[in-house]
Structure 1
Amino acid sequence: ENGEIRKGDRVKFVATGKEYFADEIGTLKLNQVPKEVIKTGDVGYIISGIKEAREVKVGDTITHKDRPCSEAIQGFEEVKPMVFAGIYPVDTEDYEELRESMHRLQLNDASLVFEPESSAALGFGFRCGFLGMLHMEIIQERLEREFDMTVITTVPNVSYKAYMTKDKEEVIVHNPSDLPDPSKLDSIEEPYIKANIITKSDFVGPIMSLCIQKRGTIMNQHYLTSDRVELVFEMPMGEIVFDFYDKLKTISKGYASFDYHQIGYRKSDLVKLDIRLNDEPVDALSSLIHRSNAYDFGKKICEKLKELLPRQQFEIRIQASIGAKIIARETISALRKDVTAKCYGGDISRKRKLLEKQKKGKKRMRQVGNVEIPQSAFMAVLKLD
């Protein structure tokens, strides 16, 4: 039998079990029109004393507390974040302002999940969960446009499942720095997606090469018309969070549509790639990556950082490592003064003594000197080619 809600009724949200009073109800036209009762077929609204946006799930069923429905309307699914990234204020003094902005954003976007985290390189910020890359870009854009916040976003990643050697315990890893010690790990699983790409037949070759490069497996190729093709791939979700969409649009000259849905987790040979500056790991640049891509990716990051980091009074060693093993290295040489300029003529031992003294000073400086990482370096890692 069809139901109704009256003003002042106590209503219940089926998925969360939370109960509220219907302080005001009505129908939605161009404006909200308050009413005493709303019935089947009305496009209505309900105002009650809900303090937290997370208490309400989009798609949930509302029922009467005293006359509850036997089952919820089908189709409701708990929204789970798929892509994770760190968001930090450019100026550490803006941390409280960023927290306030995130809470206000969450009021009208309950799918945004965040928790405080700190990074040695970037200070205090938030680990955020997004529904996908587009959602992440929208949140960034809204923070800048609506709240006038300039933020640094770290390398995005997906959530992985790590299984321990002892008692096969499952650990969900949202952040590369949370990955357990490799010696205690039995296996790692990563989320896979089924990707549907529709494009012009001229671009099939380059698109297939791109997907295979991203560890994709072609499942189907179907010609919709003589010059339009649908390609179906299965590929790791971690491979599309970087720059996949940009590259797809570039090689297809914009003539490609991309749609995907998750198909579960699969075992993968993943390793944690650390970036070190003068032997100090930079946690914000760590990433989980497939072993076959680790060397190339590490080499590219080292080369990019060499271009972007300003020279210091001491030498900077940039290293990419997997555990204790260094797989790529670049060196930024120190700025140095010509200490032998004041020596006129003769004695080589005097010059040698001055150079040795300078060398010792540089070594001491390297031990205590901090390497400043500009914001452009973090942004460049997201745009690596």
Structure 2
Amino acid sequence: MLTNHIRNFCIIAHVDHGKSTLADRLLQITGTVSDRDMKDQILDSMDLEREKGVTIKASAVRMNYHYGDEDFELNLIDTPGHVDFNYEVSRALAACEGALLVVDATQGIEAQTLANLYLALELDLVIIPVLNKIDLPSAIPDEIAADLSSLLGVPVEDMIRVSAKAGTNVEKILPAIVEKIPPPQGDNQNPLQALIFDSHYDSYKGVIAYVRVFEGQLKCTDTLRMMANTTEFKPVEVGIFNPFMHSTEKLEAGDVGYIASGLKTVRDCRVGDTITQLNNPAPKQLHGYKNPKPMVFAGIYPVEGEDYDDLKEALEKLQLNDASLIYEPETSQALNFGFRCGFLGLFHMEIIQERLEREYNLDIVLTAPTVEYEVILRSGSSTFIDSPVDLPDEGEIADIREPWMDLWIITPTDYYGSVMELVRKRNGVYVEQEYPAPNRVQLKFEVPLSEIIVNFFDELKSRTRGYASMDYQFKEYRSGHLVKLEVLISSEPVDALASIVHKEQAYSKGQKLVSKLKRLIPQQLFEVSIQAASEGRIISRATVKALRKDVLSKCYGGDISRKKKLLEKQKKGKKRMKMVGNIEIPQEAFMAVLQLEED
């Protein structure tokens, strides 16, 4: 098809504003999916996406649309809305020329609406504002259209007002896409340049790369080459999504489709790489993506040691599917061999854990998440650590710096006080405020990352009845009075339970942690001591009492010395058992570090 008849666009919005439902209606209107095959959230292929009601993976689909006596090819990329999947959104935007900005007519502009909008504007995309859910009784489309107008500079009458659920006015979106979004620039005669914006692994076809062709064309018979790592391959097939994989003869400039590479090793096909032809290579690579910076780190260990290789393979395949996941091998005294993984946020970590358990049938243990600290040594050098275990000796440390974030919270003005109180409780610092709408306030804070990765979002939602939204961005590393809090079980330090805390909170957190672990660690046939230590001192201790057999039950009557002898014998046996005894620590104990705030 001629490039001037192609339109590449994506849908961006805050989580739960109706992106996937709108995509469903567009697929129905264009006849891409028949009514018989239609189901809700058809582009959300994972069970997890349906259960949680959020899009996790960006997905592409081609629609054919007849407009004004001409046929057009519309390539839609559906994007996630949660803050933890921002990297997915940025990659999808790079493959498009325009974006539908969907805003809920009952909730208005949210934090992630703004974050995704700024990403799109940075890439000079054409923005088409769409007001969704206008059929709900609580909808206030006129007020929200006015807010959007002042934000984007678009006249109120140009806003498309729809109800994706009911299908109202959705047909007005397609002409707007054709008229307002520019066609892709590119020439079929130029050397091939195709950007990989996503990928997944298929056990029959190898690594499948999702590509946007910027220049040239490619056929199934061509020998192709990855420009970054110089891997050469002949594709098994090339094709498009409509919405499922459908093979075609070729992909041309402006097209969005897939290449089944046949490559079996995941490392050979990286998101952000450029594919070109071996015999007519492009002079340079396309501008890829900046590497995502993980914010949260946790250890993932197999429950059974023999599953280590399976876990490694599963993480490799997941990394192909989710380029923002990073991992490296690590060893723990308590949990043996596993991996240190980096995530974009706590929700991202939860999704990876569930995918490992469901898709790869693995039993895994996760340690409590931490952030990355900068340690300044007395020698003048500095190092970054993402695990308390890697902390150098206290005598070598001059200072420990923790990551601070710029935090934006958009909330109705009614909840101003409770949001302020929540952030102050989490050691946040107020910076400024703006009023994007008459009854909504955008508050900006600076806050330590370690304070917002655990339960902060849940607490924010409960304090504001679900109306507030947040977005955050790394600012800098700042000095803090930080110390290592260790946990010793039977006098042995358990590295997986160690954490880095503020010095003034070490005593209270140590006490809470010890009390919690006492409830979680099951009784053994011997006494188990639980201690919290910081700066070389024991600051709290508890003992899990031993399970005791009543050895005196068979000793009735007679001299007291007989009873003493039996008790002494039992005492010796317990002592010997303690020397060789192995304490099983349940998964809940490793997550106890997280739930301290709730008690």
Q: What TM-score bracket applies, with the shorter chain setting the length?
A: 0.7 to 0.9
Kindly state the Cα deviation for residue 141 of structure 1 after the two structures are TM-superposed.
Answer: 1.6
Where does residue 169 of structure 1 map in the other structure? 381
Q: Take 1:45 and 1:96, find their aligned partners in 2: how far apart are those partners?
A: 29
Q: Does the C-alpha gap of structure 1 residues 364 and 61 become closer, same or farther in structure 2, counting only changes over 3 Å?
A: same
Give 1:141's match in structure 2, choosing from 348, 351, 354. Answer: 354
Give 1:127's match in structure 2, choosing from 314, 328, 340. Answer: 340
Where does residue 76 of structure 1 map in the other structure? 289
Q: Does the C-alpha gap of structure 1 residues 312 and 42 become closer, same or farther in structure 2, counting only changes over 3 Å?
A: closer
Q: Take 2:237 and 2:566, find their aligned partners in 1: how far apart are those partners?
A: 84
Q: Deviations over 1:37-71 (max 9, x none)?
A: 733x3335455565544455534555678765568
Kindly state the Cα deviation for residue 335 of structure 1 after the two structures are TM-superposed.
Answer: 2.7
Q: Does the C-alpha gap of structure 1 residues 230 and 362 become closer, same or farther in structure 2, counting only changes over 3 Å?
A: same
Q: Does the C-alpha gap of structure 1 residues 32 and 153 become closer, same or farther in structure 2, counting only changes over 3 Å?
A: same
Where does residue 213 of structure 2 map in the other structure? none
Q: Take 1:26 and 1:94, find their aligned partners in 2: how far apart are those partners?
A: 35
Amino acid across the alignment from 1:244: F
Kindly state the Cα deviation for residue 27 of structure 1 after the two structures are TM-superposed.
Answer: 6.5
Identity of aligned residues (%): 47
Q: Take 2:238 and 2:218, find their aligned partners in 1: how far apart are those partners?
A: 9
Give 1:114's match in structure 2, choosing from 327, 331, 336. Answer: 327
**DSSP-derived class of the 2:252 partner:** strand
Question: 1:22·1:46 contact (CA, 8 Å) conserved in 2?
Answer: no
Where does residue 430 of structure 2 map in the other structure? 218
Q: Are 2:456 and 1:240 aligned?
A: no
If asked which structure has higher relative contact order (CA below 8 Å, sep 6+), I would say: 1
Q: Take 1:47 and 1:352, find their aligned partners in 2: how far apart are those partners?
A: 77
Kindly state the Cα deviation for residue 24 of structure 1 after the two structures are TM-superposed.
Answer: 7.6
Where does residue 252 of structure 2 map in the other structure? 38
Amino acid across the alignment from 1:321: A
Give 1:97's match in structure 2, choosing from 307, 310, 314. Answer: 310
Q: Deviations over 1:63-122 (max 9, x none)?
A: 67876556853x731223221111122333332322222222223223222222222222
Q: Does the C-alpha gap of structure 1 residues 109 and 281 become closer, same or farther in structure 2, counting only changes over 3 Å?
A: same
Question: 2:412·2:468 contact (CA, 8 Å) conserved in 1?
Answer: yes
Where does residue 282 of structure 1 map in the other structure? 494
Q: Take 1:254 and 1:190, find their aligned partners in 2: how far apart are those partners?
A: 29
Structure 1 vs Structure 2 CA RMSD = 3.0
Q: Deviations over 1:11-33 (max 9, x none)?
A: 553xx464646758966352555
Q: Deviations over 1:284-337 (max 9, x none)?
A: 111122222222222221111111111222221111111421122222222334
Kindly state the Cα deviation for residue 281 of structure 1 after the two structures are TM-superposed.
Answer: 0.8
Deviates more, 1:29-38 or 1:184-193: 29-38
Q: Does the C-alpha gap of structure 1 residues 70 and 368 become closer, same or farther in structure 2, counting only changes over 3 Å?
A: closer
Kindly state the Cα deviation for residue 36 of structure 1 after the two structures are TM-superposed.
Answer: 5.5
Q: Take 1:248 and 1:152, find their aligned partners in 2: how far apart are those partners?
A: 28
Question: 2:485·2:510 contact (CA, 8 Å) conserved in 1?
Answer: yes
Where does residue 588 of structure 2 map in the other structure? 376
Question: 1:299·1:320 contact (CA, 8 Å) conserved in 2?
Answer: yes
Question: 1:305·1:377 contact (CA, 8 Å) conserved in 2?
Answer: yes
Q: Does the C-alpha gap of structure 1 residues 93 and 67 become closer, same or farther in structure 2, counting only changes over 3 Å?
A: closer
Give 1:188's match in structure 2, choosing from 400, 418, 422. Answer: 400
Amino acid across the alignment from 2:545: S
TM-score, normalization by structure 2: 0.57
Q: Take 1:12 and 1:331, find their aligned partners in 2: how far apart are those partners?
A: 59
Q: Take 1:310 and 1:259, find their aligned partners in 2: how far apart are those partners?
A: 40
Where does residue 86 of structure 1 map in the other structure? 299
Where does residue 418 of structure 2 map in the other structure? 206
Question: 2:226·2:269 contact (CA, 8 Å) conserved in 1?
Answer: no
Q: Deviations over 1:129-176 (max 9, x none)?
A: 12222221111121122122232111011122212212x222221211
Q: Take 1:241 and 1:71, find their aligned partners in 2: how far apart are those partners?
A: 36
Q: Are 2:494 and 1:261 aligned?
A: no
Where does residue 325 of structure 1 map in the other structure? 537
Q: Does the C-alpha gap of structure 1 residues 79 and 352 become closer, same or farther in structure 2, counting only changes over 3 Å?
A: same
Q: How many residues align?
A: 379
Structure 2: which 5+ runs fail to align?
A: 1-185, 191-215
**DSSP-derived class of the 2:593 partner:** helix
Amino acid across the alignment from 1:125: G
Question: 2:484·2:535 contact (CA, 8 Å) conserved in 1?
Answer: yes
**DSSP-derived class of the 1:383 partner:** helix
**DSSP-derived class of the 2:294 partner:** coil
Question: 1:315·1:366 contact (CA, 8 Å) conserved in 2?
Answer: yes
Question: 1:6·1:38 contact (CA, 8 Å) conserved in 2?
Answer: yes
Q: Are 2:527 and 1:315 aligned?
A: yes
Q: Take 1:371 and 1:28, find their aligned partners in 2: how far apart are those partners?
A: 54
